[in-house]
Amino acid sequence: MRIKDTFWIGLLIGTAVFALCFLLLSLFSWGEAYARAPYLLAFVPGIILFRMAMVKWNMEKCGKGILLVTFVGMLLVFFLV
């Protein structure tokens, strides 16, 4: 089954990947100095998934949605956390 190449699916995939990775990373105890680490490390799979969607799978719209979630999420972490 092939996933449709839509921007909204990309947003959904990017959000789901971030949420899953963040939940897994939040199980570890991070020190006070590394309070942002789970947030920032949870965005790494989104960047890898963005590259795969754009280059390997040729899904441009989906890749743009994943990139938007990753970029906006990183900005929110830097300014709010």
Q: What is the pLDDT of residues 37-80, one digit of tens each?
A: 888 899 999 999 999 999 998 999 999 999 999 999 999 988 98
Q: How far apart are CA 32 and CA 57, in angstroms?
A: 40
What pLDDT, on the 0 to 100 scale, is given for residue 81?
76
What pLDDT, on the 0 to 100 scale, is given for residue 68?
95
What 3 state SS string does the chain have?
CCCCCCHHHHHHHHHHHHHHHHHHHCCCCCCHHHCCHHHHHHCHHHHHHHHHHHHHCCCHHHHHHHHHHHHHHHHHHHHHC
Amino acid present at 5: D
pTM for this entry: 0.86
What pLDDT, on the 0 to 100 scale, is given for residue 30?
84
Q: What is the pLDDT of residues 14-47, one digit of tens each?
A: 999 999 999 999 898 888 888 888 888 999 999 9
